[in-house]
A and B are shown apart, each in its own frame.
Chain A
Amino acid sequence: MEEIALRKEVQDWLELVGTADILVGIPSFNNARTIGHVVRAVQAGLAKYFPDCKAVLVNSDGGSADGTRDVVENAAIDDFYQILIPQRVPSFFKTATLYRGVPGKGSAFRTIFEIAEALQVKACAVVDSDLRSITPEWIELLLKPVYEGGFDYVAPQYKRHKYDGTITNSIIYPLTRALYGRSVRQPIGGDFGFSGRLASHYLSKDVWESDVARFGIDIWMTTTALAGNFRVCQAFLGAKIHDAKDPGADLSAMLYQVVSATFDLMETYYESWSNITGTTQIPTFGFEYAVGLEPVAVNLERMMERFSLGVHELLDIWRTFLPQETIDFLCEASQRKGDDFRFPDEVWVETIYHFALAQHNRTLGKEHLLKSLTPLYIGKVASFVMEMRDSSSEEVEERLDRLCREFEKQKPLLLEKWA
């Protein structure tokens, strides 16, 4: 695979550092407001939990115009004593660099992987730059299973609001679980730990011009680790509170990139997932506790409108690959108003599997196909919100577990049609 040459100043910096034990990467784009806190949390985490390790922090930036890189350069903990860390300065290096390649989170990660490989680090972690709830403990939880436990990949587990992470909850988590047989609760969480060996494995793949270079990177990392039989675990990090996403990144583009990356991986790893039945739990580290979460406003009326509009206008497109009974259901459901509306799991799973089959059979151009999924996804989210309005987080998890089992139940039908 062609390697993107790192910038001259990074190469000089790498020569200065030589090798390292641990690397923490932070991808960013215009995150000056929050990245200072993230850098300080990382520094404190490294000082507290890895005092004897040589550690580096890499900020891989997409050309921020708000001084993000300056914030990273200047952010530091002034008084370790205040946060109950012995005044001992561990070997800690820091750099902020512009990444090269297709603009997106995936390209930022690629630069981090390249630096990790160059420094021959043992354990790496990546954390989002817009986090407000990150604590030094996140660094321990993401790195220790790799550094001391022999794991290759640590996926995050969070306490999130029941309406948050809806692409994860309704598509990516249940689909990944059904396909690869391991219950990774947040496969696209955004904050991961991984071994240097796995970073080199990632770099060996030629995916950096695809959707993996953008929003698809998270599911790609998780799936590659699962399908490659790397040792995978997850760590409970607490609440995930972060700044609102880039308002320019619209839902259909996000959905398209994440789902198309997931479906593409089904092609790549068919041999891996086709023989798997059932689900096994993966080891989970960390002390689970309840957290107070910020309320999430949902405009159900508008969601229903979007769903009905989609059914009205896009039915002809869906007719080319969805079964007739699904089409009949959609027509009938789009007439329903208020709390009567439900999008049953059986129909939803059938819909997702037929979208995957349509991409596999190239029934329609990929972008048109997956962007046309948006109104159906909004319908499923609306149904979920109505159903779970008064439910506790435990009840929501049970409900999601039912959805996962439906994905597993219908997997033989997917396999039959896939072949």
Chain B
Amino acid sequence: MEFLQRLFIDPFNRFLDNLLLFLPNFLTALVIFLVGLLIGALLKSFFARLFRVVGLDGLCERAGMDQMLCKSGIRDPLSLLLAKIIGGVTVAVFAVIAVQTISVPAVERLLERFFLYLPNVFVALIILIVGYLLSNFLSRAALIASVNAGVRLSGLVGRFVRYVILIMSVTMALEHLGIGSETVIIAFTIIFSGVVLAFALAFGLGGRDAARDYLDRKLKGSVKDDADEITHL
């Protein structure tokens, strides 16, 4: 009987004690999480309306960002997108508080480290998103401008602008995350300098005549352009 007591009943009683100690914490955590879900939904709804009222979507449209979002596969207007992010962050914060309420030391330590790092991830994510949107917008602007200027390598110009911005944003994001920060910057500097040097050499040696003509035109205005004389307006 004593054997059974020691082997099964005592551990079971301890488990019950622990469970009784844990359950209130768990229920509190559950309530906190549910409150978080509610507040998150309310904040999302509030900010979605607020952004709409202040005309954020119109501003986004005028800046051409709505098309960038659309092209990135994001169908929501910017006001709703930001409201969703705010709602999501609120829910995440309440989830953390809820987990801390459970009072499990190992989880607490893990969470502490994770949440100290989280702002970096968040900022890096923003850098990547902004970089992506900017690369789409500016590459299209560069493409259209160079086509209208008659540059034969317009496609290359557009792609160049896109990749430079993308690489720069990835570099900045990685640096922010502290992942091989120096290595990334050095690699970026080497690659970027190499590209610039390659262009300089290609223009100066490969296209020496073109370079001379271009400089002549710019500095002396000596080369006559056989422009159209059409008055468009």
CB neighbours (8 Å) of A164 from chain B are: 230-231
Please count how many residues in chain B sit with their CB below 8 Å of the partner chain's CB atoms: 26
Residue from A190, A298, A317, A375 within 8 A of B148 (CB atoms): A375
Assess whether A188 is interfacial by the CB under 8 Å rule.
yes
Known contacts A251-B148, A299-B226, A375-B148; decide if A317 and B233 are in contact (CB<8 Å): no
Q: Which of A200-208, A303-311, A325-333 contacts B (4 or more CB under 8 A)?
A: A303-311
Known A362-B66, A371-B145: A306·B150 in contact at CB below 8 Å: yes
Interface residues, chain B, with chain A CB atoms under 8 Å away: 61, 63-64, 66-67, 137, 140-141, 143-145, 147-148, 150, 152, 154-155, 158, 226-233
B143 to chain A: which residues have CB within 8 Å?
Answer: 313-314
**Chain B residues closer than 8 Å to A367, beta-carbon distance:** 64
CB pairs A–B below 8 angstroms (23 shown) = A165-B233, A188-B233, A215-B233, A251-B232, A252-B145, A296-B229, A298-B228, A299-B227, A309-B150, A310-B148, A312-B155, A313-B147, A313-B158, A314-B143, A314-B144, A314-B147, A317-B144, A362-B66, A363-B67, A367-B64, A368-B141, A371-B144, A375-B147
**Distance (Å) between the CB of A4 and the closest chain B CB?**
23
> For the complex, is A75 an interface residue (Cβ under 8 Å from B)?
no
Query: Do A309 and B147 touch across chains, with their CB atoms under 8 A apart?
Result: yes
Q: Are B233 and A368 in contact (CB under 8 A)?
A: no
Contacts of A166 in B (CB 8 A): 230-232
Q: Is the CB of A184 closer than 8 A to any CB of chain B? A: no
**Contact (Cβ within 8 A) A245 B233:** yes
Assembly CA distance A255 to B141 (angstroms): 16
Beyond known contacts A166-B232, A299-B226: 11 more, CB 8 A cutoff: A165-B232, A244-B229, A245-B233, A297-B229, A298-B229, A299-B228, A309-B154, A313-B143, A367-B64, A368-B64, A368-B67
List residues of A (154-188) whose CB comes within 8 Å of B's CBs: 163-168, 188
Q: Contacts A364-B67, A368-B64 hold; do A250 and B148 have CB atoms under 8 A apart?
A: yes
Partner of B228, one of A218, A242, A303: A303
**A371-B144 Cα distance, complex, nearest whole Å:** 7
User: Between A and B, how many residue pairs show CB distances below 8 Å?
Assistant: 95
CB distance from A108 to the nearest CB of B (A): 16
Residue A17 at the chain B interface, CB threshold 8 Å: no
Residue of A nearest to B68 (CB): A365
- Closest Cβ of chain A to B154, distance in Å, is 5
| Nearest CB in chain B: distance from A263 CB, A | 15
In the bound complex, residues from chain B placing their C-beta under 8 Å from that of A319 are none
- Residues of chain A within 8 A (CB-CB) of B226 are 297, 299, 302
Knowing A302-B150, A314-B147, A371-B145 are in contact, say whether A255-B232 is a contact too (CB < 8 A).
yes
A374 to B154, CA, bound (A): 14
In the complex, whether A57 has a CB less than 8 A from a CB of chain B is no
Q: 1/0 per position for A361-385, CB-CB distance to B under 8 A?
A: 0111111100110110000010000
* Complex contacts, B137 vs chain A, CB 8 Å: 365
Chain B residue numbers with a CB within 8 Å of A215 are: 233
| Cβ of A125 under 8 Å from chain B | no
B233–A374 touching, CB < 8 Å: no
Q: Kindly state whether residue A265 has any CB partner on chain B within 8 Å.
A: no
The residue in chain A whose Cβ has the minimal distance to the Cβ of B65 is: A365
A254–B229 touching, CB < 8 Å:
no
Contact B148 A371 (CB under 8 A): yes
Complex-state Cα separation, A188 to B147, whole angstroms: 27
Q: Which of A168, A312, A364 contacts B233 (CB 8 A)?
A: A168
In the complex, what residues of A have CB within 8 A of residue B66's CB? 362
A310–B147 touching, CB < 8 Å: yes
Contacts A305-B150, A314-B143 given: A254-B233 contact, CB under 8 Å?
A: yes
* Chain B hits for A163, CB < 8 A: 230
Q: Which residues of A contact B145 (CB under 8 A)?
A: 252, 371
Tell me the bound Cα distance from A297 to B147 in angstroms.
Answer: 22
Most buried by A among B148, B154, B226: B148
Please tell me if the beta carbons of A296 and B64 are within 8 angstroms of each other in the complex. no
**Chain B residues closer than 8 Å to A258, beta-carbon distance:** 233
CB of A190, distance to nearest CB on chain B (Å): 7
With A362-B61, A365-B67 already in contact, the answer to whether A298 and B230 are too (CB < 8 A) is: yes
Which residues from A are CB-within-8-Å of B230? 163-164, 166, 296, 298, 381
* Bound Cα distance from A165 to B233, whole angstroms: 5
User: Which residue, B155, B226, B230, has most C-beta atoms of chain A within 10 A?
Assistant: B230
Task: Out of A165, A218, A296, A313, name the residue touching B154 (CB < 8 Å).
Answer: A313
